[in-house]
């Protein structure tokens, strides 16, 4: 099986074609082809087949057909497939990171970190027999036992963003599948190769055909998944406007939905913070992956008289050695952004901050990258004097841009964060335990770091923001993931003794 590279097209000296995986077989049906960039060099590297409605319906039908047998497969056997899958992910890590780097632009060391986080979700899924244990109460009434069990939903869909082309799909389908569901994944059409390859590895690990299907596509594919009555639940990760649309549409069609959206993550730097530590970790969290992370720290809020000046000076100094460049040079700190349109958008936000009165301390517009003159690069950018009314503050930039704001007290910093529409992640740098505790207790944000810049929960916790960073009640992966991908059923049972017959009872039964 090899849906990643269409060898016929390659032999014809054409661009490689990324297709779909339906019913365990590669499929290249498309109502159009879309170019996929290699952003490091600014050239089209491959094409992706964009599925029409009929192709998505074929994937849903394959998942529906595979469901009864997969549901009946014991959880321990399902988990065994995941154990083999985990090993295959490790054995093929270089190939996966290459695919991520070529299409996304992420440097190999960053792609390896992404994959490791994805593998940890597979490891969590390996515990399926334990995760799916039911809750049992004996003798809730005379001779009556009761238990709750967690049953799979059926066909579940996942729609994922470009910025973690392997990890975010791995947040979803391993757990959904070990819980007994069958799955249709719609990865980002901007970098579809890694997800498709990873899905092929799961089949190599022994997954029966149809349990996991991958369709590449755009709005038409997504809309088909959101409205088809055979799809029971939808997990979405992407930007907030699309998350809101997906949540509204899926729930209006009777589906369970969790839709994770965008972010604007603030770091508070207190006057007592260890500034060296704050600066070095802020830089990694702001510029790693070109700032294209939903947990990237994009705003530093300096508290107190001279904290801002000290912070800006130290950041500017540390940024002198930042190295931006192609994905395949491991000495680079971060790579290009995903498309030329996205580069222009990021640069547009820097322009607007300057126009609206902020000071560009380090200017990353138009960096020179040797050997990659046409790549989609923005260098690390530091902006000081940012105000809450500026466009660059109100919107998610999703680029290597760190903005600094200054306030007088920690409470003012917290009010600023709470007033923002997003509430994904945040961090405080301080040596004061009491301040840190107050901050984590009261801040209206879903994931909080204390001297930890990227507080991305490990696989056995769950990932989710507050406010307009998450639509739905349950976060992604971990314990919330198990609840999202299963439906509780509670059974109450009595085996009457031979010869004992109960009369009709018209009052509400109370067993105890």
Give least dist CB 387 to ligand NAD, A.
22
State yes or no: residue 163 binds ligand NAD (CB under 6 A).
Answer: yes
State yes or no: residue 424 binds ligand NAD (CB under 6 A).
Answer: yes
- Strands (E) in 42-154, as ranges, are 43-50, 135-141, 144-152
Cβ proximity to ligand NAD: between 429 and 477 the closer is: 477
Question: Which candidate, 475, 331, 450, 345, places its Cα nearest to that of 401?
Answer: 345
Cβ proximity to ligand NAD: between 189 and 200 the closer is: 189
State yes or no: residue 423 binds ligand NAD (CB under 6 A).
Answer: no
Candidate ranges 111-119, 163-171, 365-373, 430-438; the one touching ligand NAD (CB under 6 A)? 163-171
What is the Cα–Cα distance from 95 to 107, expressed in whole angstroms? 13
Cβ proximity to ligand NAD: between 380 and 464 the closer is: 464
List the catalytic residue out of 97, 126, 179, 294. Answer: 294
State yes or no: residue 218 binds ligand NAD (CB under 6 A).
Answer: yes
Cβ proximity to ligand NAD: between 219 and 317 the closer is: 219
> Rg of the Cα trace of the chain?
25
Binding mask 132-161 for ligand NAD (x = CB under 6 A): ---------------------------xxx
State yes or no: residue 403 binds ligand NAD (CB under 6 A).
Answer: no
Question: Which candidate, 220, 226, 221, places its Cα nearest to that of 245?
Answer: 226
Give least dist CB 90 to ligand NAD, A.
23
Give least dist CB 59 to ligand NAD, A.
15
Cβ proximity to ligand NAD: between 239 and 352 the closer is: 239
Q: Given candidates 60, 196, 198, 242, which one binds ligand NAD under the rule CB under 6 A?
A: 242
Q: Given candidates 6, 384, 396, 480, which one binds ligand NAD under the rule CB under 6 A?
A: 396
- Nearest residue to ligand NAD, scored by beta-carbon proximity: 238
State yes or no: residue 237 binds ligand NAD (CB under 6 A).
Answer: yes
State yes or no: residue 121 binds ligand NAD (CB under 6 A).
Answer: no
Question: Which candidate, 281, 182, 229, 265, places its Cα nearest to that of 466?
Answer: 265
State yes or no: residue 349 binds ligand NAD (CB under 6 A).
Answer: no
Buried b (16+ CB within 10 A) or exposed e, 301-320: bbbbeebbebbbebbeebbe
Give least dist CB 294 to ligand NAD, A.
3
Buried b (16+ CB within 10 A) or exposed e, 141-153: eeebebeeebebb
Laid out side by side, the sheet with 470-471 consists of 25-27, 20-22, 212-214, 182-186, 155-159, 231-237, 256-260, 470-471
- Contact assessment for residue 192 and residue 51, using Cβ atoms and an 8 Å cutoff: no
State yes or no: residue 28 binds ligand NAD (CB under 6 A).
Answer: no
Candidate ranges 47-55, 142-150, 216-224, 298-306; the one touching ligand NAD (CB under 6 A)? 216-224
State yes or no: residue 263 binds ligand NAD (CB under 6 A).
Answer: yes
Q: Dihedral, CA atoms, 469, 472, 474, 478, nearest 10 degrees? A: -50
State yes or no: residue 222 binds ligand NAD (CB under 6 A).
Answer: yes
The CA–CA distances, whole Å, from 340 to 213, 216, 343, 400, 462 equal 30, 21, 5, 15, 34
State yes or no: residue 398 binds ligand NAD (CB under 6 A).
Answer: yes
- In the three-class reduction of DSSP (H, G, I as helix; E, B as strand; rest coil), residue 73 is classed as coil
Helices 108-125 and 167-178 pack at an angle, to 10 degrees, of 10
State yes or no: residue 186 binds ligand NAD (CB under 6 A).
Answer: yes
- Contact assessment for residue 118 and residue 350, using Cβ atoms and an 8 Å cutoff: no
- Catalytic annotation present for 294: yes
Cβ proximity to ligand NAD: between 99 and 242 the closer is: 242
43 CB-near residues (< 8 Å, 6+ apart): 37, 374
What is the Cα–Cα distance from 407 to 360, expressed in whole angstroms? 19
Give the CB-side neighbour count of residue 302, counting CA atoms within 13 A. Answer: 26
State yes or no: residue 262 binds ligand NAD (CB under 6 A).
Answer: yes
Interacting residues with ligand NAD (CB under 6 A): 159-164, 168, 186, 188-189, 218-219, 222, 237-239, 242, 260-263, 294, 396, 398, 424, 465, 469
The residues annotated with a catalytic role in the active site are 294
């Amino acid at each position: 099986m090899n849906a990643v590279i269409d060898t016929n097209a390659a032999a014809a000296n054409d661009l490689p074609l990324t297709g779909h995986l339906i019913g365990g077989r590669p499929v290249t049906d498309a109502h159009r082809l879309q170019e996929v960039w290699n952003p490091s060099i600014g050239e089209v590297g491959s094409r992706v087949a964009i599925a029409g409605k009929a192709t998505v319906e074929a994937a849903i039908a394959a998942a529906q057909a595979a469901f009864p047998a997969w549901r009946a497969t014991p959880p321990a056997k399902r988990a065994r497939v995941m154990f083999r899958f985990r090993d295959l992910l490790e054995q093929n890590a270089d190939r996966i990171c290459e695919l991520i780097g070529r299409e996304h632009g992420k440097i190999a060391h960053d792609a390896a970190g992404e994959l490791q986080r994805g593998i940890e979700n597979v490891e969590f899924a390996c515990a399926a027999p334990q995760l799916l244990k039911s809750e049992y109460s004996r003798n809730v009434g005379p001779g009556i036992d009761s238990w709750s069990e967690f049953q799979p939903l059926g066909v579940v869909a996942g729609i994922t963003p470009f910025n973690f082309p392997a990890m975010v799909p791995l947040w979803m389908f391993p757990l959904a599948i070990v819980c007994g569901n069958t799955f249709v994944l719609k990865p980002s059409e901007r970098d579809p190769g890694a997800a498709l390859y990873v899905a092929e590895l799961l089949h190599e690990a022994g997954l029966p055909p149809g349990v996991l299907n991958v369709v590449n596509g755009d709005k038409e594919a997504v809309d088909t998944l959101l409205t088809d009555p055979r799809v029971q639940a939808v997990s979405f990760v992407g930007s907030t406007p699309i998350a809101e649309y997906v949540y509204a549409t899926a729930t209006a069609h009777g589906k369970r939905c969790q839709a994770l959206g965008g972010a604007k993550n603030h770091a508070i730097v207190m006057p007592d913070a260890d500034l060296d530590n704050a600066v070095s970790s802020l830089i990694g969290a702001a510029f790693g992956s070109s700032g294209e992370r939903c947990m990237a720290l994009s705003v530093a809020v300096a508290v107190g008289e001279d904290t801002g000046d000290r912070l800006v000076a130290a950041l500017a100094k540390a940024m002198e050695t930042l190295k931006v460049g192609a994905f395949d040079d491991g000495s680079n700190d971060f790579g290009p952004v995903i498309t030329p349109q996205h580069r222009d958008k990021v640069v547009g936000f820097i322009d607007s901050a300057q126009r609206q009165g902020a000071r560009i301390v380090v200017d990353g517009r138009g960096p020179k990258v040797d050997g990659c003159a046409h790549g989609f690069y923005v260098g690390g950018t530091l902006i000081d004097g940012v105000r809450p009314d500026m466009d660059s503050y109100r919107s998610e930039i999703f680029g290597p841009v760190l903005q600094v704001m200054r306030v007088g007290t920690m409470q003012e910093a917290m009010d600023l964060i709470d007033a923002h529409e997003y509430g994904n992640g945040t961090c405080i740098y301080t040596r004061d335990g009491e301040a840190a505790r107050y901050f984590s207790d009261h801040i209206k944000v879903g994931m909080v770091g204390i001297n930890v810049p990227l507080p991305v929960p490990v696989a056995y916790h769950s990932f989710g923001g507050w406010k307009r960073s998450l639509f739905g009640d349950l976060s992604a992966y971990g314990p919330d993931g198990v609840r999202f991908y299963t439906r509780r059923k509670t059974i109450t049972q009595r085996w009457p003794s031979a010869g004992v017959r109960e009369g009709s009872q018209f009052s509400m039964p109370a067993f105890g």
